Amino acid sequence: MAEYENILVEVEDGVATVTVNRPKALNALNRKTMEELAAVFNRVREDASITGVILTGAGEKAFVAGADIGEIHELNGKMGLAFAEFGQGVLNLIENCGKPVIACVNGFALGGGCEISMACTFRYATVKAKFGQPEVNLGVIPGYGGTQRLARLVGEGRAMEMCLSGNHINADEAHRIGLVNTLFDDAEAMLAAARDTLKLIAKKGPEAIRLCIEALHQGLSLPLADGLALEADRFAQACATEDMKEGTKAFLEKRKPEFKGK
């Protein structure tokens, strides 16, 4: 993979570890970093050898502490719309790259950091992690999907409280309300568990994983009847794959399947 200014990328055994690498700025998301994240996840989407992604931040203080406040200060209304739409596009790409992405949060995940974690398939965190949408403290609101994804993950009431108060919540509270899937004592254990999870998922049918992610993400915004129709359509697509024939045949023959992603 190409080298980047603000992003580190390592690929091992099909797992790409993508690290936002601006520790002196607490890994804040400036325009350059967002452009590089878009480039990385476009590659992830197209590269069949990559089966999953760990997204994390450099250093011990922050996952991502937010957007670059200096850039926000220069915005007007028209520029603000373009700023939000660009950021939402990058996070939509992360969410819909077709492969599982685990956010590994150690330290602050605030503003854009909380938002980027919520665009991931699920979230692991250490006990030192803190989450928040503090944008109202700056006279703005979340712009990278925070008002929408947070409410879908933890419910409208808790999302309202976080977005309107601007307060941080600790790792235990984030886990209790469902924002975080699993807590770990330290970053090393968290990253090891994320790799193990992604290696486990990689043993499943790649097309089934992609279609399952699609059904879950897209179905959340639909009425139940439409969501069920979406699920049936993706189930039918899975049934038309070579992997489905291989998976069911392997089960009947009591052996491990050899999926090809077709």
Question: CATH no. for residue 243?
Answer: 1.10.12.10
Domain boundary among 202, 226, 241: 202
pLDDT of residue 22: 92
0.85 cut: is pTM over it? yes
Residue type, 137: N
Buried b (16+ CB within 10 A) or exposed e, 90-116: bbebbbbbebbbbbbbbbbbbbbbbbb
Measured CA to CA, the distance from residue 26 to residue 163 in angstroms comes to: 21
Q: Which of 3, 5, 60, 135 is catalytic?
A: 135
- 159-180 pLDDT per residue, tens: 999 999 999 999 999 999 999 9
CA dist., res. 195 & res. 13, Å (int)? 10
Task: Please say whether the beta carbons of 36 and 6 come within 8 A.
Answer: yes
Q: How confident is the model at residue 193 (pLDDT cuts 50, 70, 90)?
A: very high
**Mean pLDDT within 135-154:** 95
Q: In what order do the strands lie in the sheet with 101-105?
A: 7-12, 15-20, 52-57, 101-105, 122-126, 182-184
Tens-place pLDDT, residues 3-56: 899 999 999 999 999 999 998 889 999 999 999 999 999 999 999 999 999 999
Is residue 2's pLDDT more than 80? no
- The reply to whether 167 and 93 lie within a common domain is yes
207 catalytic? Reply is: no
Kindly report the average pLDDT of the chain as a whole number. 94
Among residues 36, 95, 115, 207, the one annotated as catalytic is 115
In a domain, 210, yes or no: yes
Which domain, by its residues, includes 42?
7-202
> What string of DSSP letters covers 196-254?
HHHHHHHTS-HHHHHHHHHHHHHHTTS-HHHHHHHHHHHHHHHHTSHHHHHHHHHHHTT
Does 180 share its domain with 228?
Answer: no
Instruction: Classify residue 59: in a domain, yes or no.
Output: yes
pLDDT 10s digits, 99-125: 999 999 999 999 999 999 999 999 999
> Does 28 share its domain with 152?
yes
72 with 44, same domain: the answer is yes
Total domains in the fold of the chain: 2
Q: Are residues 37 and 57 in the same domain?
A: yes
Reported confidence tier of residue 1, pLDDT bands at 50, 70, 90: low
- Residue-wise pLDDT for 200-249, tens only, equals 999 988 899 999 999 998 998 899 999 999 999 999 999 999 999 989 88
